[in-house]
Amino acid sequence: MSALNLPRVAHRFVDVDGVRVFYREAGPVDAPTLLLLHGFPSSSNQYRRLIDALGRDYRVIAPDYPGFGFTEAPQNFVYSFDRLADVVEGFVEAIGLNGFVLYAFDFGGPVGFRVAQRHPEWIRGLVIQNANAYLEGLSDLALSVVANQPGVEGAEENVRGIMVLPVTRGQYEGGTTDATLVDPTGWTLDQHFLDQPARLDAQIALALDYHSNVELYPEWQRWLRENQPPTLIVWGRHDAFFPEPGAHAYLQDLPKADVHIFDTGHFALEEHVYDIAPLIADFLDDL
């Protein structure tokens, strides 16, 4: 029997200003590094198959944010996208990274772009997957979520309504061509954490802060124009929140970006990891 070509994946914790950050890591330490930033309501668990696909030849690192997955935050942690970026910035410093390709998916966009603005010297390139930075990429559904802000009547009740299992599962299966390829482990684990009262409060706070990301779109677009990072864009065109125009909008500021659109939904890796992983490998090899 031939040896299986699977990487050894380490599961570690590191302290970042009182937050015990959980992360997954695989690959040679001297190989090109890919920092995988996850979305809502998921965790580094969403990248387990991509880590298996890339982790023999490349260094792949996937942390959980505070309020997600296995990361442990103190009770007094204040949840906002700025604070998530603070922790990711501290995480990068704590594990000694000095340069990486940023994989930004969903929440990984607003977290990652904040970090990139603070440390452009860290960014060797971008892999953008259904992470929006343009008004063209916001569906009517997404705009209705963005409208839920502190002080808006009924806003907290509205966002609480999206933290339930049918919605969590729907984010994984919605827009897919073959839902049997979607591992139920993803939405089951996500809902397990969402059902914990402290985690639910964290997610409500972040949902009410989402408008801050849209307000920063012009700054992120300027950063892209001025820095011109090598960029690979892979996108599920049937994403209910971030439809296909959001992928092409990046070409306004990154005309050399390589764009690939897939007939799937928000969690494109669920159906297309074996199509997307080779694109990422080629992208890393060409840097």
Active site residues per annotation: 266
Q: Which of 32, 38, 23 is nearest to 99 (CA)?
A: 32
Radius of gyration of the chain (CA): 18
Round to whole Å and give the CA distance between 16 and 91.
Answer: 6
Round to whole Å and give the CA distance between 277 and 143.
Answer: 31
CA angle 167, 172, 177 (to 5 degrees): 125
Assign 16 to helix, strand or coil.
strand
CA distances in angstroms from 147 to 168, 208, 221, 231, listed in the order given: 20, 8, 22, 30
Strands (E), the chain: 10-16, 19-26, 33-37, 59-63, 100-105, 123-129, 231-236, 258-262
Assign 13 to helix, strand or coil.
strand
| Cβ 34 vs Cβ 100: under 8 Å | yes
Question: What element of type H or E holds 219?
Answer: helix 211-227
